[in-house]
Chain A
Amino acid sequence: MKDEDVRRYLDGETEMDAMDDQARSEARSWDRLLAAFRAETPGAPAPPWLENRVMARIEALPEPGLARRAWSWLLRPRPLRLSPATLGLAAAAVVALVLLPGRRGPAPTGDAGGAAATVVYVQFDLRAPDARSVAVGGDFDEWQGSYPLEDPDGDGIWTGRVPVKPGLYAYMFLVNGSKWVTDPEAAHHTDDGFGNRNAVLAVTAPAT
């Protein structure tokens, strides 16, 4: 009961006066500890150069225009309605595009360019029936989890395509915006140093 009282106090759900002496004593210890944390993790205003550096980087980006708006439109998540028959055909097409027989994990699904500019679209899938959102992130997007997957038919299978350049990438799924989940279907994994496993994705340029 004491622990619960302290917990409620720390969560702002009850006052110190409403607790017994023992709980009050522990609450005071926590107040002192939290004061130490506040003292040791001070914030500070941004340095004056931040604004100019941000703007310099932005100005170095390609001019936003029709191409950017078109690209944004293409990448914008939208519901995709497929009949079972169409889905079957699409799945068959994806399987046919898998480069290595018997490989598991995400599958490259196409090429959007040639030579150094080659981009391969990789299909990611995760079964997560209880998820509110699923995205994929990894070395290819600086672990932003910036590529949302979709489950338009509500069957719990989240899927999406991500454009990546050929290379070796670690990745994970970001479930509900905060929980990183290892791809259980990946062919290879690597230890992330915290007892978790990152899936490893090898993307090769399609043969020309």
Chain B
Amino acid sequence: MAPPAERTDAQVVRDVLAGDRDAYRLLVRRYGDALHAHALRMVGSQDVAADLAQEAFVTGYRKLGSLRAPERVGAWLFRILANVVRDHLRRTRRRHISLHVLPEIPAPQRGPDEDTVDADVRTRVRQALAKLTPEQQEAFVLKHVEGRSYEEIAAVMDLSVAALKMRVHRAREALQGLLKEFA
């Protein structure tokens, strides 16, 4: 058997399905940061993001037998996470419609461009993002925050590229309406 670091994703999936459940640890190591980062961008809380990433990995383990393309397990796990996050947003926004209470967001590392953004704008940016539908927020974050291609996002969200572009456009329109004096 190849050393853990050299095992391909497909080999790891096969090993886990064959009963070596500890091999799943390799997938958590390989994709934990990416899943956590996306969840954090969507929910704004490190604790919640970690919980959602954890949920996605456990769900992934449970459903591993249904994975058709083991070599694409990373994208598959990301898609599971996206569903988990979407569901979380639906449930929490249902309970907390008031947007006056915003999620805790860690202090970001500022670049030269961001230095010009004042605190008031930052607050309104966060509020505006939280007012999008979970689907719009997800499409917007994947495109304009994470910088993913439309083709990649379409695969995550199971949409056509045309439909996805329209969703991102609608998200931008909504944000523009919410932040009229800024955009």
Question: Do A and B actually bind?
Answer: yes
Tell me the A residues contacting B by CB distance below 8 Å.
7, 10-11, 26, 29-30, 32-47, 49-51, 53-55, 57-59, 61, 64-65, 68-69, 72, 75-76, 132-133, 137, 142-146, 176-178, 192-194
Q: Which of A45, A46, A47, A144 contacts B83 (CB 8 A)?
A: A144
B3 part of interface (Cβ distance < 8 Å): no
Q: Which of B33, B42, B54 contacts A53 (CB 8 A)?
A: B54
**Residue contact A58 to B33, C-beta cutoff 8 Å:** no
In the complex, what distance in Å separates the CA atom of A20 from the CA atom of B114?
26
Report chain A residues within 8 Å CB of B62.
Answer: 61
**Residue contact B122 to A43, C-beta cutoff 8 Å:** no
Given A39-B117, A41-B105, A47-B46, CB of A176 within 8 Å of CB of B183: no
Least CB separation from A57: chain B residue? B58
Closest Cβ of chain A: how far from B109's Cβ, in Å? 7
Question: In the complex, how many residues of chain B place their beta carbon closer than 8 angstroms to a beta carbon of chain A?
Answer: 76
Given A37-B129, A146-B63, CB of A44 within 8 Å of CB of B40: yes
List 30 A-B residue pairs with CB atoms under 8 Å apart, sorted by A's residue number: A29-B183, A33-B182, A34-B144, A35-B117, A36-B117, A39-B111, A39-B113, A40-B122, A41-B40, A41-B44, A42-B109, A44-B36, A50-B32, A50-B57, A51-B29, A53-B54, A54-B24, A54-B58, A64-B17, A65-B19, A68-B65, A75-B66, A137-B87, A143-B91, A146-B63, A177-B158, A192-B90, A193-B93, A193-B94, A194-B94
Closest Cβ of chain A: how far from B108's Cβ, in Å? 4
**Residue contact B110 to A39, C-beta cutoff 8 Å:** yes
Report chain A residues within 8 Å CB of B144.
Answer: 10, 34, 37-38
In the complex, what distance in Å separates the CA atom of A158 from the CA atom of B117?
50
Convert B142-183 into 0s and 1s, putting 1 for each residue whose CB lies closer than 8 angstroms to a CB of A: 001110001000000111000001001100100100010011
**Residue contact B41 to A42, C-beta cutoff 8 Å:** yes
Closest Cβ of chain B: how far from A74's Cβ, in Å? 11
Report chain A residues within 8 Å CB of B50.
Answer: 46-47, 49-50
**Residue contact A43 to B41, C-beta cutoff 8 Å:** yes
Report chain A residues within 8 Å CB of B83.
Answer: 143-145
**Residue contact B59 to A144, C-beta cutoff 8 Å:** yes
Tell me the B residues contacting A by CB distance below 8 Å.
17, 19, 21-22, 24-25, 28-29, 32-33, 35-38, 40-42, 44, 46, 49-50, 53-55, 57-59, 61-63, 65-66, 80, 83-84, 87, 90-91, 93-95, 97, 105-106, 108-111, 113-114, 116-117, 121-122, 125-126, 129, 133, 135, 140-141, 144-146, 150, 157-159, 165, 168-169, 172, 175, 179, 182-183
**Residue contact A32 to B113, C-beta cutoff 8 Å:** yes
